Structure 1
């Protein structure tokens, strides 16, 4: 079968409609075509052919030579300038739907489109007559006050609303006013801790009855030897009830001496070692020492570096807390929800036991 016959079979056309073409001489046929005919032939693509990549579904239509390299920034600037320079449509004409049987071109009316006016009722006319003059003559500040009274908070910013509520004059106010941040109120610095560390150490060692509460918080220049001396004095002291040592750069070295002292001390009830450098293992050791005599009912040790205790340490803390029926307050930041729930439940149970005992004592009295 010849090439022409095969072409007729595929296309279903008649032989008289298609000239007899020898496809073997395709190069000679293409050589006879002009440049315009070749361009038309090369542009004959199917734009919906999904088997061709998008770049090959249509030939390039650009015939101008490039004036320079492509610049996205310049292109966006040109498009923005062109959009600003273009004039808007002067009149928007109403679109009229074509009548059945009319031409395909839609009719455009000669007049500018206007919204249909709905006639007002007599009640609406009376309302307009009563309030229009009042609202028209009202100043912008009076309208702001009215919006605040009526509860239209969305029409006001925060500064305007509170100024209207407190009957304060608001400069540059109104609906176009800007909310400005209030001036910061400078809070005075807390006075430094003036506790005499050397005297406190002597009072602890002498078991002075006047020293019930020792506050060493935020004293930065306490040496390790002085902190250890405070801890060692607790072994024989029977007067001190509250010891605060937050943010004194305590390390495990000092915490170890503290845990040893708590095994012998039987009068301390509140201990605070927050914001130091005590690891989780030493916190566990301190809780073990507290459980020896169970006199400390409040223990705070949050904000340590490192702060994360870890699952192993938190599991030990759960066991130690559950063994202590006297602990009322425990200041520790836990990572796992199970630890928080179990510790909270145990502390609540201890509170309930104290409350029941207090109620029963009152009943007997």
Structure 2
């Protein structure tokens, strides 16, 4: 029983022991340990893209011999079967159709025909990108659930059927708040019986001094029943004044 316990008990391994273990491995075992998955994104590219050639050197490089060898290899590989067979006078694939709006813009701008080749090439690339974007949008509009699965696989994404977008709730825009803050503070200080609801929503740039004056007035006020102050850029210090006001008002109501 003691021998079995000694076998399963973990032993402390140091760097010296690890170095001794690596030195005891054969070259084939070391090479096998050095191999890593080229598709593992957690490994650095320098380890995933290491090229190891096990072939023996054939001597000095002969360029002509190399080119002829590549040609022979290429000719020996059979061609892939064409999905659409070639027929004279029939175009295969998507035929490029120029956008008439681009031609109209070119005529209106009066561009000269002696344009630089780089500008022409850039314009053609932009037209190809725009055509590809339009084609992609049209394909998405016509796509069903199976097509969406195929698009997700091409882009390397995971399509989840149970994920549904929540419709956006559009609320009507609130009218501008024309409440006079100074007048509210004055009425709250005088304990005006008509001041029962205070609405300060969406009023910006109320100074901390006015907030302090309002909350100090509400501590002694007995008519105000509700205070609304949404979207007013209230800071932490103002919240502390509000809490002290609520604390005094709560205990005063409890006492009454």
Instruction: State the TM-score bracket (shorter-chain normalisation).
Output: 0.3 to 0.5
Q: Looking at both structures, which has the greater relative contact order when contacts are Cα pairs under 8 Å and sequence separation is at least 6?
A: 2
- Where is the strand percentage greater, Structure 1 or Structure 2? 1
- Where is the helix percentage greater, Structure 1 or Structure 2? 2
Structure whose alpha-carbon radius of gyration is higher:
1
So what's the TM-score if we normalise by structure 2?
0.35
